[in-house]
Amino acid sequence: MKAQNLFNFRFVNTRLGFMFFLVILFWLKSVCAYFFNFDLNIESNFQYFFLLINPIAMTIFLLGIALYIKPPLASYITMGIIYCLLTILLFSNVSYYREFSDFLTIATILGSKSVSAGLGEAAVNLFRPYDLFFFVDLIVIPLLFFTKKISMDQRSFRLRVSFAISAIACMLFGANLSFAEVARPELLKRMFSNDYIVKYMGVSFFTVYDGYRFFKTDQVRSEASPKDLVKVKDYVKEHYTGYDPNLFGIVRGRNVITIHLESFEQFLINYKLKDQQGEEHEVTPFLNKIFASKETFSFDNFFHQVSQGKTSDAENLLENSLFGLESGSLFTQYGGENTFQAAPNILQQHSGYTSAVFHGNGGGFWNRNETYKQLGYDYFFHDKYFKINEKNSFQYGLHDKELFKQSIKYLEHLQQPFYVKYITVSNHFPYGEFHGKDDGFPFADTKDKTINGYFATAHYLDTAVKEFFAYLKASGLYDHTAIVIYGDHYGISNKRNPDLAELLGKDPETWNDYDNVMLQRVPFMIHMPNANIPGRIEESPAESLDYINHSFGGEVDVLPTLLHLLGIDNQRYLQLGQDLLSPKKDQIVAFRNKNFVASDYTVLGSKIYNTQTGELLENPTEETLSIIEQLKQKVNQQITMSDLLTTKDLLRFYGKNESGLSPINPEKYNYQKELERLKKIEKQKKQNSTSLYSKNNKRSTVKLYKTKSYQNYQDEDESEFLP
């Protein structure tokens, strides 16, 4: 029987036809992997569309390379090899994903022998019969050739056509990329998570792009030398502020819980929203109380300093006292490889802390699952550790009340003292999910829907924190814990701010850059139940605005402040921030774009404002200009030092004799089976176990958690909460 008859589609017997046949097969495999193996969290038809088209352009382009080879046999063989490599790459990702819920990066492939070894092992262990589907064609196609069911096209192939195919592939690719950039602006620059890149652009593209970035950053890193560190060390020494000796170590040895308030701006504190009847509603009554509490250090001139890495930049600023990158996210670009001297690592090596993160989104978002290893986080409880359904979650994962509640079964097994971080998500754009749900907090009435919903989600977050505090008290953790609460970055963008103006008692017509920058304030508080804060004697009122500290600072200053309160001098680490409670703190806050706010002047590009009055200084005096020049230099220096440390990975040259820290081995961490690991440690330690569970005579405290979450109500109550 002739091949043409068998297939009835002759095109397979032409060189181009055979290539497209392979394209179709690879498309099929990719789409099956997307739907059956990867968990890509598809939210809309538009995203399905991306999944269906994204393998096409790259596959045509890569297989098309073989069309440039003249001799038919060599051309077919090259095409076959490229096809096999693509299949192996796809299958390696399928296999890796099963174990790690993430995609294979070049750093993972090159960096760690044990990962590659583990991968082989995992592939064997996790092999499912239907995996054969990925390989069956690699056997069938050669057989078809041998049995002459398909034949090789012996005609020569025109170079012009090869070029045309490459050009078509590039065009398709360009279209795919532009669609993706519309759906997810700055997708490639910010690289939110590997999942996103695969969802929009496909696995093969992900590997190529990841490789390109890896080699680009690797080059800068390999050119760096220990000499580069000298400048940074001098800078840090010169800017060390020391600490207030009355405050040093006042919460030494306590547990630390950091609550990351998503997109939470300072203006929400003590804000009252008027409803349509003119009745006022306090948005965050609980946080307001904590903010004014006698047992809290609170700051009202505290600014976020994030750039495109948003949440991940905030985390980096807090954990490392370093800035993020000028563009993109440090976590995604350097997090998996760089050496850090991060809070969890310092606390563990210096004072024996156990560390953990709770976050109800996928572990790969912002490359957390890799970065946390380098930061020294012992445990990472991400979405796989929580019961998540449509009702209790949204685009960014599990809602806050549920996150806190569901975390307790893990928290109670952590050895104390612990350093724990909760990354909340509910108060994330687009705000509004809670309309008429939860406790029905009113919406604002501006023409911008985003602004209108912001107060209700902030209120929800406030209640979530309140419920968590109630649990901390009920379980007894409260008294020996210091609780850090901070807003990670703005929630309402500058372009929307004029619509917010009226709610803040301002005129939208005169709203300007100064007003925008003042709204970059976020709350920062360290709550220390029963701590002996000097000056706040027993008779002092429980809450007062007098306790609020007006020092100018930002997220980069958190770690030095916290370490000093915990009784650890930050002098030996390379941190770029300064202790906010030190009288020597420079009264200046640098932003990543080198704008700044200082106590007297605010400089935004070429504009100078009076920080106190907001007045624009049109004709500044010589004296003012020379002060501004000095401030500018300070800011430049701080940002430059940060870039040196991060892009050249200089901390790897800072030895143990200087920092007291042994290097981290990221292979020790894997964030799998966390509860089993925790329980094993409890068992090993027996009566020396310091977990809450052990201290509580092996009785769980989960029941002590009370929540009024609408997501948690029984189904029969559902109708009550429908909008």
| C-alpha atoms less than 13 angstroms from C-alpha of 602 in its C-beta half-sphere | 21
CB closer to ligand GP9 out of 268 and 425: 425
What CA–CA distance (Å, rounded) separates 343 from 340? 9
**Three-class DSSP category at 521:** strand
311 in catalytic set? yes
Smallest distance, Å, CB 342 to ligand GP9? 17
From ligand GP9, Mn ion, none, interface partner of 425 (C-beta below 5 to 8 A by class): ligand GP9
520 scored as a contact of Mn ion (CB under 5 A): no
Angle (CA) 189 194 200, round 5°? 75
CB closer to Mn ion out of 204 and 424: 424
Smallest distance, Å, CB 459 to ligand GP9? 19
In the region spanning residues 120 to 179, those forming contacts with Mn ion, defined by CB under 5 A, are none
What CA–CA distance (Å, rounded) separates 163 from 166? 5
Which of 59, 217, 311, 561 is the catalytic position? Answer: 311
Burial of 409 (0-12, 13-18, 19+ CB in 10 A): middle
Smallest distance, Å, CB 318 to Mn ion? 12
Smallest distance, Å, CB 424 to Mn ion? 9
Tokens of 84: 């096999």
311 scored as a contact of Mn ion (CB under 5 A): yes
In the region spanning residues 223 to 262, those forming contacts with Mn ion, defined by CB under 5 A, are 262
From Mn ion, ligand GP9, none, interface partner of 365 (C-beta below 5 to 8 A by class): ligand GP9
Q: Residue 618: which residues within 8 A CB-CB, separation 6 or more?
A: none
Q: Which residues pair with 602 in a beta bridge?
A: 597, 609
CB closer to Mn ion out of 488 and 586: 488
CB closer to Mn ion out of 311 and 582: 311
From Mn ion, ligand GP9, none, interface partner of 423 (C-beta below 5 to 8 A by class): ligand GP9
From ligand GP9, Mn ion, none, interface partner of 396 (C-beta below 5 to 8 A by class): ligand GP9
Place of tokens 């097994």: 413
CB closer to ligand GP9 out of 383 and 674: 383
Smallest distance, Å, CB 88 to Mn ion? 37
What CA–CA distance (Å, rounded) separates 261 from 317? 15
What CA–CA distance (Å, rounded) separates 676 from 338? 29
Place of tokens 């985003």: 450
User: Which amino acid is residue 492, in one-letter code?
Assistant: I
Q: Which residues pair with 604 in a beta bridge?
A: 607
Smallest distance, Å, CB 306 to Mn ion? 8
From Mn ion, ligand GP9, none, interface partner of 13 (C-beta below 5 to 8 A by class): none
Smallest distance, Å, CB 113 to ligand GP9? 30
In contact, 277 and 445? CB cutoff 8 Å: no
555 scored as a contact of Mn ion (CB under 5 A): no
Q: Is the peptide bond before 430 cis (omega within 30 degrees of 0)?
A: yes
CB closer to Mn ion out of 307 and 647: 307
Smallest distance, Å, CB 428 to ligand GP9? 6
CB closer to ligand GP9 out of 186 and 507: 186
- Is the alpha carbon torsion for 340, 346, 347, 353 positive or negative? positive
**Three-class DSSP category at 689:** coil
Smallest distance, Å, CB 306 to ligand GP9? 8
User: Which amino acid is residue 114, in one-letter code?
Assistant: S
Cβ-closest residue to ligand GP9?
Answer: 310
Which spans of this chain sit near ligand GP9 (rule: CB under 6 A)?
A: 310-311, 361, 365, 396, 423, 425, 428
| Burial profile 522-556: b = 16 or more Cβ within 10 angstroms, e = fewer | bbbbbbbbebebeebeeeeeebeeebbbebbbbbb
- Is the alpha carbon torsion for 127, 128, 131, 133 positive or negative? positive
Smallest distance, Å, CB 358 to Mn ion? 15
Smallest distance, Å, CB 371 to ligand GP9? 12
What DSSP string describes 531-596? Answer: ---TT--TTS-SB-GGGEE---EEGGGHHHHHHHHTT--GGGS------TTSTT--SEEE-TTS-E
Q: Smallest Cα–Cα separation from 511: which of 492, 491, 488, 489?
A: 492
Residue 602 CA to chain centroid, in angstroms? 29
Burial of 100 (0-12, 13-18, 19+ CB in 10 A): buried
Report the relative pairing of strands 397-398 and 393-394 from DSSP bridges.
Answer: antiparallel
488 scored as a contact of Mn ion (CB under 5 A): yes
What CA–CA distance (Å, rounded) separates 553 from 219? 34
CB closer to Mn ion out of 311 and 345: 311
Tokens of 574: 């390379």
Q: Total residues contacting Mn ion (rule CB under 5 A)?
A: 4
* Residue 299, CA distances (Å) to 239, 548, 720 in order: 21, 6, 40
In contact, 153 and 72? CB cutoff 8 Å: yes
**Dihedrals φ, ψ of 296, to 5°?**
-125, 140
CB closer to Mn ion out of 487 and 560: 487
From Mn ion, ligand GP9, none, interface partner of 437 (C-beta below 5 to 8 A by class): none
Cβ-closest residue to Mn ion?
Answer: 311
CB closer to Mn ion out of 235 and 264: 264
Q: Residue 7: which residues within 8 A CB-CB, separation 6 or more?
A: 13, 149, 150
Q: Smallest Cα–Cα separation from 620: which of 634, 603, 633, 635?
A: 603
CB closer to Mn ion out of 310 and 413: 310
Residues identified as active-site: 311
What does the binding site for Mn ion look like in residue numbers (CB under 5 A)? 262, 310-311, 488
